[in-house]
Structure 1
């Protein structure tokens, strides 16, 4: 297929969350203007009207800090330089504090048709502990305003296994989100990333242990599926037909082009990454990239990514390794980590919880 996804990394934040290690800098209006101009230059550099773009994803950072006009200019440039599918999924990540009824209507008018709202929790004490700027009430209002503005594809982020978190608080947040007019939930287990404020003994000592984390995760999967949000990937749940088309590109080794500081690409047979430096990105005529893989999507990577999906790995796609995988499979099935119908293998929620170890055992 000649389709392409485009990822735009918007590296601005109002304030960096204490757990986050994604590349971001403080927002300023002048930096946003210069950044947008650099994005437009790079879109023109990669211009290829023979490629049909069927997903566009504004990630960050906080992409909703850009004005609707700036976001719209980027979408318009993609439309001019590529064959932008009329049914393309165009996603914008947003912080609840940056959304209001007027801006949401503007975003709809420029072509954004999917929102990914960073809620994380519906409990104010947890939000404060995470360093989030919004309250649970503001998060709920943002979702309701988005639905009122005409958004019919809304995703919310949920974070679990927080310091001191118990099952009751996880269930409360999950239930509150599931009751909102949304179609997708991305649910992540909190990790303490190196170099972040959460990378300290005070936080690590308060995190749920392995057994409690498993109870939280498996309980969340069960709750969300009862509410109609079916698990289709390790950390992603959707109502039928609302799986993230852009993120599925990553897990299916399909082409995507990343633009912006810290953006990654799998494009025209190579993986490459842009330097984590907004000043360099703005100064350079074309973003400078480092090739990270000259031949991506070999057996190991292809299998690893496919096994992150609930649909799993089709054994005929890895014919040369089929016998070895089948030989390793029985103990995983016996222990409840994997299942098979003879043609495909997939991980159970219990297997997803241990996905790194299970996939390493099967594939490497």
Structure 2
């Protein structure tokens, strides 16, 4: 069994108006103390019998850490686990933090995949979102990354933004897909409780549910037309560039999270770290709360598999097979799902309604 490591880096230069992920302001001392705490925790979980084949630095803005800090973390992982020589090592990055020098340093310490928080290729939409970069800066960051030798670059795209139209979405997709990128993660904007976007002014400018659905289906069509196959509800990739780390989540494979707000599915339990960087730094090792004593039972396994375009193998559902097959015909007829008798998978239209379709099928 292999293992994926997720390192939550909770620093942001500026909090985006729509974001409810755990993040705090960056200071040099806090980043240094955080890095030392991460190193302690990697040593705490040390197991040389475990082969780590994916490492993911998420956030926050992990690229705010210095290359030396990131290198020390990767070096500790290599010393505490059996780090696969072909491991996928990803770092999320804000375009403004990606200089040619930083990109060269990241390549030299072993980072081989970038996830760039672009969100839109229209400056007016970026301003509404509260992003600090422009479309031109994002474009340059991707070009610089390719020039530095990165051959596995992902960009984030957000849809159903305030005042967004099919034309403005099409512009972003066309401009983004002309860049040397191999993967796109695309998300429908949701107004999260307690964020600045959680207000009547923003809600009044968001597309209605029907328009958001049309934007999603148009996005799927445009991305697939340009060689980015949908392999998960919100993820698209050129052949062979699917995110190996994120696929662990959807396939109920083990992953270990380190850092405040990090989640894990490890050694038969799901657990989470408190959203508290000061507590994380102060503790000898991170304090976790077990959230599931027996994860990946039938319902969870089936639900996660149905998030993937490859779908659910009916060989894996045992006694539930007959019930699933009985429920399928109306979903197939309405264009929400497909089956070849051995597998069941959702269509793009089904992904739009995935929560209710999956609930109908497996609960």
TM-score band by shorter chain is over 0.9
CA distance, structure 2, for counterparts of residue 305 and residue 203 of structure 1: 31
Q: 1:351, 1:296 → 2: CA distance?
A: 25
C-alpha distance in 1 between matches for 2:166 and 2:275: 37
1:225 match: 224
SS at match of 1:78: helix
What do the CA deviations read for 1:210-236 (whole angstroms, capped 9, x no partner)?
111111000010000010000000000
Partner of 2:327: 328
- Partner of residue 95, structure 1: 94
Gaps of 5+ in 2: none
Distance 1:126 1:83 in 2: 44
- Matched residue, 2:151: 152
TM-superposition CA deviations, 1:100-143 (whole Å, max 9, x none) = 00000000000000000000000000000000000000000000
Deviation, structure 1 residue 240: 0.2
- The whole-number CA distance in structure 2 between the counterparts of 1:106 and 1:325 is 51
Misfit runs of 4+, over 4 Å: none
- Report the CA distance between 1:204 and its aligned residue: 1.1
Match of 1:189 in 2: 188
- Alpha-carbon distance in 2 for matches of 1:279, 1:214: 41
Q: Which residue of 2 aligns with 1:360?
A: 359
Measure, in 2, the Cα distance between the counterparts of 1:187 and 1:105.
27
Deviation at 1:164, TM superposition (A): 1.1
CA distance in 2, matches of 1:253, 1:176: 35
Give the Cα–Cα distance (whole angstroms) in 2 for the partners of residues 326 and 207 of structure 1: 38
- What residue in structure 1 maps to residue 43 of structure 2? 44
TM-score (normalised: structure 1) = 0.99
Bigger mean CA deviation after superposition, 134-143 or 318-327: 318-327
Counterparts of 1:19 and 1:328 in 2: how far apart (Å)?
37
CA distance in structure 2 between the aligned counterparts of 1:189 and 1:42, rounded to whole angstroms: 34
Unaligned regions of 5+ residues in structure 1, if any?
Answer: none
Give the Å deviation of 1:291: 0.0
| Equivalent-residue separation in structure 2 for 1:227 and 1:304 (angstroms) | 29
Q: Which residue of 1 aligns with 2:289?
A: 290
Instruction: Give TM-score, length-normalised by structure 2.
Output: 1.00
Partner Cα separation in structure 2 for residue 205 and residue 321 of structure 1: 43
Specify the alignment match of 1:86 in structure 2.
85
* Paired position in structure 1 for 2:64: 65
SS in 2 for 1:72: helix
- Matched with 1:25 is 24
Match runs of 1:104-123 below 5 Å: 104-123=103-122
CA RMSD of aligned residues (A): 0.4
Task: Indicate the SS of the match to 1:241.
Answer: coil
Shift of 1:319: 1.3
Structure 1: distance between partners of 2:4 and 2:228 = 25
Q: What's the offset of the Cα at 1:13?
A: 0.0
Displacement of 1:183 after TM fit?
0.2
In the alignment, which residue of structure 2 is the partner of 1:274?
273
